[in-house]
Amino acid sequence: MTMNETLQEALGNLDSARGELVLDLSSLRRIDSSELRALKNLTKAAKEKSVKLTLRGVSVEIHKALKLA
């Protein structure tokens, strides 16, 4: 499953997330533009649905990209 597919699936599962959704990004070496956009959308949707989105295993490089996006 690609990162984009994972994020799409997570977006679909927000309603059943019971208040918290954890994404493990430890296998992600570099995030691309479409993945970053999808992650931003997921973050926004999670906030709207009061779901706490937790990212695990985020590298420093991806963390910085997330801060800038």
Partner 1 sequence: MPENVAPPSEERIAYLESLVGQARIAAAVFTQYTQEDVDRIVKAMVLAGLDQAQYLARMAVEETRLGVMEDKAVKNMVATEFVYNYVKDKRTVGVIREFPDSGLVEMAEPIGVIFSITPITNPTSTVLFKCIMAIKTRNAVIFSPHPNAWHCCAEAVRIMYEAAVKHGAPEGVFTCVESPTLEDNAYLMRHKTVALIDATGGRGAVKAAYGSGKPALGVGPGNTPVYLEKTADLDMAVVDIITSKTFDNGTICASEQTVVIDDEIYDQVLRKFAELGAHICNEAETRLLGRTVIDPATGHMQPMAVGQKATDIARMIGLRVKSGTKLLVAPIEGVGREYPLSVEKLFPVLAVCRATSADEALKLCVDVNHAGGLGHTAVIFSHDDEIIRKFGDAINAGRIIVNAPGSIGALGGVYNDLVPTFSFGCGTGGGNSTMDNVNVYHYLNIKRVARRTPAHMWFRIPNQIYFNLNAVENLRQFASRSTMIVTNAALEQMGHVDVVRRSLPPETRVHVLAIPDAEPEVKVVMHGVEALNAYAVDQIVALGGGSVIDAAKIMKLKYDSPDADLDELAAPFLDIRKRVVRFPADASRARLIAISTTSGTGSEVTPFAVLTDKVSGRKVTLADYSLTPDVAIVDPQFVMSMPKGLTADTGIDCLTHALEACVSIHASAFTDANALQAIQMVFKYLPIAYAHPRDEEARSMMHNAACIAALAFANASVGVNHALAHAFGARFGVAHGRANAMMLPHVIAYNASVPSKFMPSPNQRAYVAHKKYAMIADLLGLGGHTIDEKVANLVTVIEQLVDQMAMPRSIADMGISKEEFERAIPDLAKIAFDDPSWRSNPRMPLVSELIDLFWKAYYGRTPAKVVSAPPVEQEVEVLV
3, 7, 46, 62: which one contacts partner 1 (CB under 8 A)? 62
Q: Residues 53, 56, 59, 60: is their CA dihedral positive or negative? A: positive
Question: Does 61 participate in binding partner 1 (rule CB under 8 A)?
Answer: yes
Between residue 30 and residue 59, which ones bind partner 1 under the rule CB under 8 A?
A: 30-34, 36-37, 40
- CA-CA-CA-CA torsion for 19, 10, 15, 46, nearest 10 degrees? 60
**What is the nearest approach in angstroms of partner 1 to the Cβ of residue 32?**
6
Amino acid code (one letter) for 65: A
Would you say 17 or 58 has its CB closer to partner 1?
58
